[in-house]
Chains A and B, each alone.
Chain A
Amino acid sequence: MDFGYTDDQSDIRRTARDLLAERARPERVREFAEAGKTDTELWRELCSLGWPGIAVSEEHGGQGLGAIELSILCEELGRALAPVPFLPSALAAAVISHGGDEEQRARWLPGLASGETVGALSGGADGIAELVIGGADAGVFVLVDDDGSARVCAAADAEVTPIAAIDPTRSAARVSLGDAGEALAGDVGAGIGHALVAISAELVGVCDRTLEMTVAYVKDRKQFGVPVGSYQAVSHRCAQMLLETEKARAAAAQAAWAADAEPALLAEAAAMAKAASSDAGREVTASAIQAHGGIGFTWEADVHWLYKRAQLDAALLGGGKRHRARLASILADRVGASAAA
């Protein structure tokens, strides 16, 4: 039993945090969010460092590292709310890596690993996805149907309509594939499992940063002559935020570990992680607005960017209710299996 990182993993984390503290300062994130633009300079830098290919196989130009390393980057980018298409691209790469055949992998993964091609992934029915995060930047789409099948399609072959999502730190688009693209016939389920791990990790980062900001604010803000954080109505809310964050972190850590080391556990662990982190993301960021009081509801305070990012991430590939429904069916199968045994 060991939840710790290896030295290499700790280095990745430290390097990522230091870099983003420098390059994705809140005022810069705000600038790009307000302009509705991707921070292409930062994205190019991340690409030059090999970030997009961290979990792509070396054979396809990536670093060949695991879900834990990818999670570390997702968490740090979530903390920073970096306005780059890292997550959507990593999700597309994960599903193509596991769900694609040799030809599909060879076609798409090198570009996704180098960052030359940006990917995006979304749930969708009948080849239509109403809101694809990163959709306006993407060169390739992966659409996952409710039945668990997936298609990959070049953006050039799809009908892409840029739209504005409530979270402007990443682009969004409505995407219609029509008959274009091709089915991914491999282990799409594993790919989705890896994708859920990555989204969960980003949500943990969002929660962590939100809690940090909120604690700093309620220590500083005074009413009735004392910091509002000394009132238990406020401090207990912060304690609850920590509990939700740590639950999500533990579930996400287990899922990342399962993705690398125990694939048989991935489906269940990923569903737990996505349910826990989606709920935590929404609750923690909502609590943060409440704890900030009136200022928290203003455009000027940064807390709403986190709130909005959490909503988009929570909705991506299904939130708490969808994944609890999946878990319930896993539990039902287990009861059935033990009854049959």
Chain B
Amino acid sequence: MDLTFTPEQTAFRDELRAWLAENPPAERPTDGSEAEEFAWRRDWQRRLYDAGWAAPSWPTEYGGRGVKPVESAIYFEEIGRARVPFSANTLGLLLGGPTLMVWGTDEQKERYLPPILSAEEIWCQGFSEPEAGSDLAALKTRAVKDGDEWVVNGQKVWTSGAQFAKWCMLVARTDGDVPKHKGLTYFLMDMEQDAVQVRPLRQITGEAEFNELFIEDARIPDANVVGGVGNGWKVALTTLMNERAGLGFALQIRLRQLLDDAIAAASERGLLEEALYADALAELHIRCETLRLLAWKGLTDAERYGQPGPEGSLVKWLWSDTNQKLTELAVDIVGPEALTAGTDWSYEFLRARGNTIEGGTTEVLKNIVAERVLGLPRLKAAA
């Protein structure tokens, strides 16, 4: 057991930390428009890219540094620690690129990977549908072959960045006559066509991180099938498995920063000496620190034993639950003024509500833990 970084890992961290300190992002736009905000994040990714820091975990042949998972996790911890924005093309870097590396043809890799890295082409994810949330394989968007093209009709939801995206990782049903997991195909859909309409989805914070996609006779060339027709579920699982692999480390550091802010706020108000607040803050401290330990344990055990332990399923659950408890406590500490619209705390408080739903609801995560980690029998669901 050694809960420190090796000298090489420390050197990697220090190099990145120094670079981040010397190369901060441009001033954040203050006009509140999503386009401006996105342009700012795109500019930031461009700076990372120019310095070779856009995706250190990507193999060198695709423009990365080919670093191991531990260094990649360090990278995201440092991104979180430096309070810099997430890259504009985060979905392409974390999901699309790695999925293509596994399932894409050589032509696809050559064509699509470089502009993901450089943020020239932004990617979005067309998985969820209004009637296919946790039960993703129930999705209804259909793709029908027409010559050497596919014609797509359907609706997608929770598509972040769709208004800026060039490519959509689209899972659609290509065969309605086979069991639901078997009739799916994974496509790269060009978002720059009139047949794809993007409508912002306003959320409880008032902003629109996500969109709905209305797809009416959109066209996708056959060459844009990823991983073969009818193999979409497997390819989608590759994407989903990457979903939080790295970002979790950044989110976990942000949680820690938020807790430090809450502790500071409590201290300023003399509440750190009040037993009830002290108890609640100490509990959050324990959760935050054990979350980090579990994240690292999950990562390093997977490397050591070749298979992930139970931690992977627990980390997102614990993170989301802790972030909600933390922001609730922060409102108690700061008082009613924390609920003034537009303040950081009111935003964090409202945004946290989505954490236990997005990227796998807590209920689904508990099912996964119960069935796959503990081996409990599954209650028979309707087919």
A236-B363 contact in complex given A215-B376, A254-B3, C-beta closer than 8 Å: yes
A272 at interface (Cβ–Cβ under 8 A)?
Answer: yes
For the complex formed, measure the closest distance between the CB of A247 and the CB atoms of chain B, giving whole angstroms: 4
- Interface contact B300-A324, CB-CB below 8 Å: no
Chain A 185-226: CB-based contact to B (< 8 A → 1; otherwise 0): 000000000000000000000000001000100110000001
Chain A residues with CB under 8 Å of B378's CB are 230
A258 cross-chain contacts in B, Cβ below 8 A: 3
Asked whether any CB of chain B lies closer than 8 Å to the CB of A246, the reply is yes
Contact with B along A1-23 (1 / 0, CB 8 A): 11111000000000000000000
Bound-state Cα–Cα, A230 to B70, Å: 37
Give complex CA distance A239, B264 in Å. 34
Is B290 within 8 A of A215, CB to CB?
A: no
Interface presence of A104 (CB below 8 A): no
Q: How far is the CB of B60 from chain A (nearest CB, A)?
A: 23
Count of chain A residues with a beta carbon within 8 Å of a chain B beta carbon? 49
Are B373 and A331 within 8 A (Cβ)? no
CA separation between A244 and B317, bound complex, in Å? 12
In chain A, positions 313-340 with a C-beta closer than 8 Å to chain B are 321, 323-325, 327-329, 331-332, 335-336, 339
State whether B317 touches A243 (Cβ < 8 A).
yes
Is B240 an interface position by the 8 A CB rule?
A: no
Whether B275 sits at the interface, judged by CB under 8 Å, is: yes
Q: How large is the interface on B (under 10, 10 to 19, 20 to 34, 35 or more residues)?
A: 35 or more
Set of chain A residues within 8 Å of B3, measured between Cβ atoms = 1-3, 254, 257-258, 261-262
Question: Is A332 within 8 A of B286, CB to CB?
Answer: no
Interface string of B290-306 (1 = CB under 8 A from A): 10011011011100110
A238-B370 contact in complex given A215-B375, A219-B375, A243-B317, C-beta closer than 8 Å: yes
Interface residues of B in 251-290 (CB under 8 A from A): 263-264, 267, 272-273, 275, 278-279, 281-283, 285-287, 289-290
B2, B317, B376: the one within 8 Å of A219 (CB): B376
Interface residues of B in 363-383 (CB under 8 A from A): 363, 365-367, 369-371, 373-379
| A324 engages B283 (CB within 8 Å) | yes
B350 close to A (CB within 8 Å):
no
Which residue of chain B lies nearest to A275 when distances are taken between CB atoms in the complex?
B286
Chain A residues engaging chain B, CB cutoff 8 angstroms: 1-5, 68, 211, 215, 218-219, 226-227, 229-232, 235-236, 238-240, 242-243, 246-247, 250-251, 253-254, 256-258, 261-262, 272, 275-276, 321, 323-325, 327-329, 331-332, 335-336, 339
Residues of B contacting A232 in the complex (Cβ-Cβ under 8 angstroms): 363, 366-367, 370, 379
- In chain B, what residue has the closest Cβ to A6? B1
Whether B279 contacts A324 by the Cβ 8 Å rule is yes
Q: Which of B275, B287, B296, B366 contacts A235 (CB 8 A)?
A: B366
Given A230-B377, A232-B367, are A1 and B300 neighbors across the interface (CB < 8 Å)? Answer: yes
B1–A325 contact, CB under 8 A? no
Decide: A3 near B263, CB < 8 A? Known: A242-B314, A325-B275, A325-B279.
no
Q: Contact at A331–B363, with CB atoms within 8 Å? A: no
List 20 A-B pairs, Cβ < 8 Å. Answer: A1-B5, A1-B70, A1-B296, A2-B304, A3-B296, A3-B297, A5-B1, A229-B376, A235-B370, A239-B369, A242-B310, A242-B314, A242-B374, A246-B294, A247-B290, A247-B318, A251-B286, A262-B3, A331-B272, A332-B278
B129 part of interface (Cβ distance < 8 Å) = no
Q: Flag whether B78 is at the interface (Cβ < 8 A).
A: no
Chain A residues near B366: list those with CB within 8 A. 232, 235-236, 239-240
Checking B286, B289, B369 against A242 with a beta-carbon cut-off of 8 angstroms, the contacting residue is: B369
List B contacts of A329 (CB < 8 A).
Answer: 278
Whether, in the assembled complex, B311 has its beta carbon less than 8 Å from a beta carbon of chain A, the answer is yes
Q: A219-B375, A328-B278 are in contact. Are A276 and B272 (CB under 8 A)?
A: no
